[in-house]
Structure 1
C-alpha cells in the first residue's frame, strides 16, 4: 500500500493518501451515469483520477462539496494505464481534515525564488529607455505585482505552477536580451515591454493561483485582448494627467506595444487577433514558443523512462535520452 502520491509510478498499485484537487469535472457515461474526472496532485506529480457513479449516487451534493478545486482530499484507489498514461480509480474518498496536511506541501512552485525573480524583473524594467513605454509597462506591473508573482502562466501544460507567470516572463526576457545583443536592429524596449505585458492579464483571466480556472472575463475576452486593454487604459490615464495629446512617435510606440501583445500567439488560428508585423513581435512570439515548449517537455519527461519514447500531451511521443 502506497501513501505518498509521489511514489505512484506504475499500474496495479494501491494508494491511500492525500492530494490536491487541481480540477474536478463532472461527466456522464453513455448509459447516463455520472462520474468525475479529477486532477489529483502533489507538487509536480499529477495523476488523473476517475470517480465512478457507485461513489456518487445518493451523495451528489456531498461529493460536489468535497471535490472543490484547491481542496486537499484523502483517496483510496488503484492505478492503471490508459493510452500509456498512469491513472487511478477511486474506491473511496473524503475531505481531508485541516490537521492532516500543510497546503504548501502539495503545491508546485517555480524553480527559482519569487523574490529574486521580482528583483531581476525590476532591473529589466529600469532598462527601458522610452519614457512612455517604461511608464506604461512599469505601472501595469506594479498594479498587479502580487498576483503576477503568484499566478501560473497557464492552467495546464506549461508553467502551470505557483509563480509560473513570473518565471515564464523572466525566462523569456533573458532569451530576448541575449537575442538583442546579436541583432542590433532589434529595439530592446519593445522586447522587454512586450514580454512583461504579453501574458499580464492572466491575473484577470484565471480565478486564483492554487487551482486556477477561467474567470468570466477570461472566457468572454481572454488574456491577449485584456492585456492590450490594460495598455490602452494606461495611455488614457497618462493623457488625462498630461492634458495634452501624444506625439505621433508616442502614439506609434503605444500601438507597437499593443501589437506585440496582440500577435504573440503568432497566428490567428492559434488565438492571436493579429499576426506579427514587426521584428520585435516576431521575436516575442518565437521566444514564447521556445520557453513554453521547453518547460512543457521538461515537465512531461521528468519521470519518464530514459532511452524510451513517452506521450507528452499535447506534443505526442517524445524521446528522453540517457543521462550522462
Structure 2
C-alpha cells in the first residue's frame, strides 16, 4: 500500500503511517490533564498532532528527529489540518525508506554544490575568488552548509534548504546584474553566498528542525559576520596579502542588512547597491518559495483562496483550473 503523505491527508481519515517527529511537548490542559503535542513531517510537509490523556511514559517513547508510527484521525482545526493521535511508537530508520522524508537527497545536494562551486570559481575579483575558495575548501563548513535548512518554517525549511536557496539566488543575482550596471556582480554573488551562512550554526536538523542554543542566544546575522571574519583571515593566509578592508566591510554590511528593515531584525538597513539588490532578491526567493508551499499545503481544496498566511499577512488567490 502506498504511504499516506502529509499533503494527502484529508478530513476525518483514519491514519496508520510513519512520519518524523519533532518539537514534542507534554503540556497540561485547563483541567490539569496532560496531552502530547508534536509535529509530524515527511518530504511533502508538516502537520501538527495532539494526543490527549498522555503521560511521561508516552513522552519518553521517542525523541525529536525519530521516525514514529502513528495511529489516529485527521481533522481540520482553524483552517489547518491536524492529527488526533491514539497511539504512537518509535520506528527504526532501517525499517523506512528515507527518500520519503528527504526533500533534497544526497545526490541532488552534490549536484547543487557542484553548480555553486562552478559559479564561485568564475568570480573575476581575485580577493573575492580567494574568499570563495577558502569557503569551498573548508570541509567542516561545507558539511554543515550542504545539510543546513534555510529556516525552521516558511521557506526552504528542510535539510539542504540553505544550499538550494543560495544556488537559486546566485542565478537570480547574475540575471539582474546586466540591468543594473552600478551593481558589482562578484560582490553580489559573494553576498548571496554568505548572507545566511550563520544559519549553519543557528539552525539544527539533527532532531527535527530547531534553533540551536547559539541561534537562540546570538542569531545568524552575528554568527554570519564571525564566519566572514574567519574566511577573510583564511583568504589572507592563502594569498599571503591583506584582504581589502572596505571590501570586507561591504560583505559584512550585506550580511547584517539583508533583512532590509530594523523591525525585521537587521541592525542596519541596506546602504550599498549590492546590499539593496541582495535584500530584494532574497525576499523574492523566500516569498515565492513560501507561495508554492502555501498552495501545496493548503487544505481548502475546494476553495479558490488559501487559508490566512502569517508569512504574507493575507489569503492568496488560487483561482480555478486553467
Same fold (TM over 0.5): yes
**CA gap 1:243/1:72 in 2 versus in 1, 3 angstroms:** closer
Work out whether 1:84 is the aligned partner of 2:79.
Answer: yes
Work out whether 1:132 is the aligned partner of 2:131.
Answer: no
In structure 1, what is the equivalent of residue 305 of structure 2? Answer: 309
Matches within 5 A, 1:176-187: 176-187=173-184
**CA gap 1:244/1:195 in 2 versus in 1, 3 angstroms:** closer
> 1: CA distance between counterparts of 2:7 and 2:270?
45
Contact conserved, 2:159 with 2:205, CA < 8 A, in 1?
no
In structure 2, what is the equivalent of residue 225 of structure 1? Answer: 222
**CA gap 1:80/1:117 in 2 versus in 1, 3 angstroms:** same
Tell me, what secondary structure is at the counterpart of 2:204? Answer: coil
Contact conserved, 1:197 with 1:261, CA < 8 A, in 2?
yes
2:256 paired residue among 233, 251, 262? 262
Work out whether 1:283 is the aligned partner of 2:282.
Answer: no
In structure 1, what is the equivalent of residue 201 of structure 2? Answer: 204
Task: Kindly state the Cα deviation for residue 41 of structure 1 after the two structures are TM-superposed.
Answer: 1.4
Task: Kindly state the Cα deviation for residue 307 of structure 1 after the two structures are TM-superposed.
Answer: 5.7
In structure 1, what is the equivalent of residue 66 of structure 2? Answer: 71
**CA gap 1:91/1:273 in 2 versus in 1, 3 angstroms:** same
Tell me, what secondary structure is at the counterpart of 1:70? Answer: coil
The total of aligned residue pairs comes to 316
Give the root-mean-square deviation of aligned CA atoms. 2.5
Contact conserved, 2:66 with 2:207, CA < 8 A, in 1?
no
Matches within 5 A, 1:10-21: 10-21=10-21
Task: Kindly state the Cα deviation for residue 12 of structure 1 after the two structures are TM-superposed.
Answer: 1.4
Task: Kindly state the Cα deviation for residue 120 of structure 1 after the two structures are TM-superposed.
Answer: 1.6
Per-residue CA distance 1:210-236 (angstroms, 9 max, x = gap): 623111111111111111111122334
Task: Kindly state the Cα deviation for residue 82 of structure 1 after the two structures are TM-superposed.
Answer: 1.1
Per-residue CA distance 1:232-284 (angstroms, 9 max, x = gap): 223344556777655xxx11000001001110111111111211101110110
Per-residue CA distance 1:105-158 (angstroms, 9 max, x = gap): 223227992222112211221232222222223313432222212221111111
Unaligned runs of 5+ in 1: none
Contact conserved, 2:36 with 2:59, CA < 8 A, in 1?
no
In structure 2, what is the equivalent of residue 119 of structure 1? Answer: 114
**CA gap 1:75/1:132 in 2 versus in 1, 3 angstroms:** same
**CA gap 1:3/1:137 in 2 versus in 1, 3 angstroms:** closer
Contact conserved, 2:26 with 2:34, CA < 8 A, in 1?
yes
Task: Kindly state the Cα deviation for residue 104 of structure 1 after the two structures are TM-superposed.
Answer: 3.0
> 2: CA distance between counterparts of 1:254 and 1:7?
44
> 2: CA distance between counterparts of 1:212 and 1:278?
33
Length-normalised TM-score, structure 2: 0.89
1:107 paired residue among 102, 116, 127? 102
Q: Which moved more, 1:285-294 or 1:108-117?
A: 108-117
Task: Kindly state the Cα deviation for residue 5 of structure 1 after the two structures are TM-superposed.
Answer: 3.5
Tell me, what secondary structure is at the counterpart of 1:301? Answer: helix
> 1: CA distance between counterparts of 2:305 and 2:264?
27
> 1: CA distance between counterparts of 2:225 and 2:180?
27
**CA gap 1:26/1:313 in 2 versus in 1, 3 angstroms:** farther
Q: Which moved more, 1:114-123 or 1:267-276?
A: 114-123
> 2: CA distance between counterparts of 1:303 and 1:213?
21
Q: Which moved more, 1:231-240 or 1:264-273?
A: 231-240
In structure 1, what is the equivalent of residue 317 of structure 2? Answer: 319
